[in-house]
Chain A
């Protein structure tokens, strides 16, 4: 069987091609159906389940990853689109037991509850803070407009971000 129709009516091509990309700093080569969704490649073929699938239509942000540093919905990205690119997932943020500052801030400030949106949310906050040193309220809202959280009401997430910004400010004053 080389192709069939999936439940959404789109053609699934099961012919595989070799796809090479960087995943969390390591070179990866896998034989994959080129149209397989990146979120499934990550979760199934690469066994990295930190990236979540929730809406599957690019609305909720649970599947957010960085591709060449750019925030991307991995449910709307096909395997072939990762060819030659560098993909960063939530698993790459902490260095062993040392948490990334965004992770630490979420941990201390109630930035999560059920945790299912959290990997995507943290990736998005990281992308925001990489591109904006001191984002305004509007910039924070804009940056997280693609991420849904059903648990926190976003209060804990905002406090997490503010905590990082305050810490950075204090750090600058000390210097």
Chain B
């Protein structure tokens, strides 16, 4: 039998196709008779639509359809929680990504030309481009229920009384920027009207069945008539979970009766895609004279933009994670998700955890400083223990993760500070740490179904099917590795099916770090009945006792004698069996037994060590070290795991040091990667260090946790801490610009360079 370390270093199944350029992404598809679609977006952040005229555009040779709100047969709206975003606006536009019309033409250029001939008369309205204006009664409301999309809160203990007993209180406001997902493949694909009246949607998404549901509502078609092929994707990071171009492609395909391809340009993508929520977070935190946390108040304001998408859920997540892995007796958290005319904010890797973790860890550093305590020691004395309740007071799966990551990263830190000298006399180095915890799954009270299907197909292949999508995260690799381990068959015996609503069972969304966890859980439920069926059949066929049979390469093997081939091959077993052998499972993501809305049950933890070198002449903060200790249970695929942590880390480095989708009066000032800067190789430490802590509590029954998000959550506060270590300046706003550093240094009167 192979050692686990071998199976967990497997080359990913989609690897060869990717390194050779042979993998066909959905935006690479070209079909016979295909048209090209383009979408007309609003030039204004807020305006009434007086009139829309499409006649001139329709007359352009090569144009096959020009559609407006009148052509939407069903609900003219989309949104995972509430369908409040118009597919095609009728009388009002609320942001510059709002769609007014769409065109199908013989070529992209003709479609783009046609957009310029669509005449729309607007009456501009006051633009609500800040959260202050949104809450100001002098400004209009953007939706019937007002400009507050969602309020969320949590309260335990008496904060007022607790603060009165505090020896030290720190209060600080933190400002977090709007971040672009920056998936390399922009939104797109091909939508095909089939001869039988059905529709096939070849467009990447993180939840094919959810797209099917939303499209059915828009198109007024039965869900069963819509097939969504949703995988593979060239990155998503939460950004393609909501609908993007699907409704337009679908409407145009149905109207013209021809396949329609839409592939957004990067400029179109940045203008229309959801972003990470900009947040303003004020935290007030107090400790007793010995340094124990007594009270913690948090006020969160999130700029959710013009439409809801997953804004409410992101805010709930922020509220939950406002206390992180710390034990605090008195807590009060209040959050507002505020509607503005800015770009729509929604799901993004970390899901509101990144923002509050930056603020919370900033508080911990400031309190330790005020107490003249070592920041690690201060965290250690306030840290949750294995059986403590979760951040909303809910029971959670037992976990030592918090102390494991803290102690691991503290050791890394001790080894680093010896190397403090900087590379030149005009620069200074600093090191900092931060820790965090992050919930997986959607949380208590949300529909969070999972499931899978394991079959022996008539061609002799063992087929494993999940309703997940491959966005790059490596779910295919996780599925392959775990099936091979659990069943004992060979990779040649296996066929993996994902990302196609016609072929897969419902597994829930490919979000919330839930994929790995749900694949493992599914296999625990599927493997025994499946093996049992195969072994029963083999025993009946061969007369060998069931207890002497096992699954192996190419078929069922005897455990007793030394055969050089299986007693029966999967192929022969399949032929002898008239019907396919199928086992299903369907269950829900594990949740806390306590009825606390949105509370999570399975958490992962990270401890981050960041090292920076700051150029005192230019103000540039250069990241020179990034180590992450991760407690998330066993590693399933080594390269996949490290890639998620390092890649999540890089995304957070961008968030901390350079990325901000600036807006002015509701218009993006950054429109492409020449003005929106994401980290390149030279912005990252040449080598990073990922330290997986794989141990789980002895009685843990929940297996490997997903690591899609945890690597991106704790990085920003660690860098901020490193900046303070280098130059003694506290950071309360991201990204940390060179201008800020230079100005802060000047105000401080410079720093002593040794």
Contacts and interface: CB of A to CB of B under 8 A. Distances in A.
Interface string B660-693: 0000000000001110001111101011100000
A150 B674 contact: no
Nearest to B22: A50
A94 to B, nearest CB: 5
A6 B112 contact: yes
Q: Which of A110, A111, A148, A152 has the most CB of B within 10 A?
A: A110
Interface of B: 11, 14-25, 28, 30, 38, 61, 109, 112-113, 115-116, 181-186, 232-235, 237, 265-267, 471-474, 638-640, 642-643, 646-651, 653, 672-674, 678-682, 684, 686-688
B643 A144 contact: no
A54 B184 contact: yes
11 contacts: A91-B22, A110-B639, A113-B235, A115-B18, A116-B234, A141-B682, A144-B681, A147-B680, A148-B182, A151-B643, A153-B684
Given A55-B673, A90-B21, A99-B19, A151 B681 contact: no
A7 B474 CA distance: 36
**Most chain A C-beta atoms within 10 Å of own C-beta, residue among B17, B19, B232:** B19
Contacts of A118: 18-19, 21
Interface residues of A, number: 63
Contact of A141 (B182, B642, B681): B681
A54 B22 CA distance: 17
Interface in A21-76: 43-44, 47-52, 54-57, 59-60, 62
A46 to B, nearest CB: 12
A106 B639 CA distance: 11
A84 B20 CA distance: 26
A158 B686 contact: yes
B20 A44 contact: no
Nearest to A108: B11
A37 B369 CA distance: 57
Contacts of B653: 153
Given A115-B472, A150-B183, A153-B647, 19 more contacts: A6-B113, A52-B185, A52-B234, A54-B673, A57-B673, A109-B639, A110-B638, A113-B643, A114-B183, A114-B232, A115-B232, A115-B234, A116-B472, A140-B681, A150-B182, A150-B235, A150-B647, A152-B650, A155-B684
Contacts of B19: 99, 103-104, 106-107, 111-112, 115, 118, 122
B184 A50 contact: no
Contacts of A154: 646, 650, 680-681, 684
A156 B642 contact: yes
Contacts of B113: 4-6
B681 A158 contact: yes
B11 A60 contact: no
Contact of A158 (B24, B116, B186, B687): B687
A1 interface: yes
Main secondary structure of the interface of B (DSSP, over half): loop
Contacts of A52: 184-185, 234
A157 interface: yes
B24 A49 contact: yes
A89 B21 contact: yes
The CB with the most chain A CB atoms within 10 A, among B679, B680, B684, is that of B680
A93 interface: yes
Interface in A83-129: 89-91, 93-94, 99, 103-104, 106-119, 122
Contact of A150 (B18, B61, B267, B651): B651
B113 to A, nearest CB: 5
Nearest to B626: A153
B642 to A, nearest CB: 6
Contact of B673 (A14, A59, A103, A141): A59
Closest 5 CB pairs of A and B: A50-B21, A114-B472, A116-B234, A115-B18, A153-B650
